[in-house]
A and B are shown apart, each in its own frame.
Chain A
Amino acid sequence: GAGVSQSPSNKVTEKGKDVELRCDPISGHTALYWYRQRLGQGLEFLIYFQGNSAPDKSGLPSDRFSAERTGESVSTLTIQRTQQEDSAVYLCASSLDHIEAVKYFGPGTRLTVT
């Protein structure tokens, strides 16, 4: 596709439910990143994929959070037993995997846990 896409754009869920957030990176981009941004805050790194392996998952805040990636394509971020503090915009970015690579961000998924 032309850019990084994410779905859904908005998700409202009840506390305790599981949610899945999807990211479609730019074709050919080997690197994929998930970030979280709470209201009025900066970007918080969650996880990085190189291909379908995750060499850096240091930012996942708890074991309720997990992510997977199929080949060098779609990634899914899953949050189990959602809590109100999980409410945030979840941003996905993809890039070629080198130090100067420009990161292309998707529009984000706004998650609201009620």
Chain B
Amino acid sequence: SQQGEEDPQALSIQEGENATMNCSYKTSINNLQWYRQNSGRGLVHLILIRSNEREKHSGRLRVTLDTSKKSSSLLITASRAADTASYFCAPPDTGTASKLTFGTGTRLQVTL
């Protein structure tokens, strides 16, 4: 079944720097969502990018999608300590389209 795989597994940067996280998936998709998780609790939706979009912005977030490479990236610009969290990409499942599958995420640490 479909599953997003994030890379790197962990990323440590200083406040003000940019953070880039990558995601790869296996089969064709109609869209891909990114989520954030603080302290091992509930996930929060960040952004959705459709398969006919190559790039999308939301505040300090920029998401790209390359369907030919089956990959996506999430860029956080001018990072803040509050951005410290785990980030997950979530492509739709191949079987149940509304179901999302999650990988292990990228753990981002932003230090002062």
Chain A residues close to B by CB (< 8 Å): 4, 31, 33, 35, 37, 39, 41-43, 45, 48, 55-56, 58, 89, 91, 93, 95, 97-108
Contact = CB atoms under 8 A, between A and B. Distances in A.
B30 A99 contact: yes
Interface residues of B, number: 27
A4 B42 CA distance: 10
A48 B98 CA distance: 9
Interface of B: 30-31, 33, 35, 40-45, 48, 50, 88, 90, 92-93, 95-105
Given A33-B99, A43-B88, A97-B98, A102 B45 contact: yes
Contacts of A91: 41-43
B48 A55 contact: no
A31 B98 contact: yes
B49 to A, nearest CB: 10
Given A48-B99, A89-B41, 12 more contacts: A33-B99, A37-B40, A43-B43, A55-B96, A56-B96, A91-B41, A91-B43, A100-B48, A105-B42, A106-B42, A107-B42, A108-B42
Given A35-B102, A37-B40, A104 B45 contact: yes
A103 B41 CA distance: 14
A37 B92 CA distance: 19
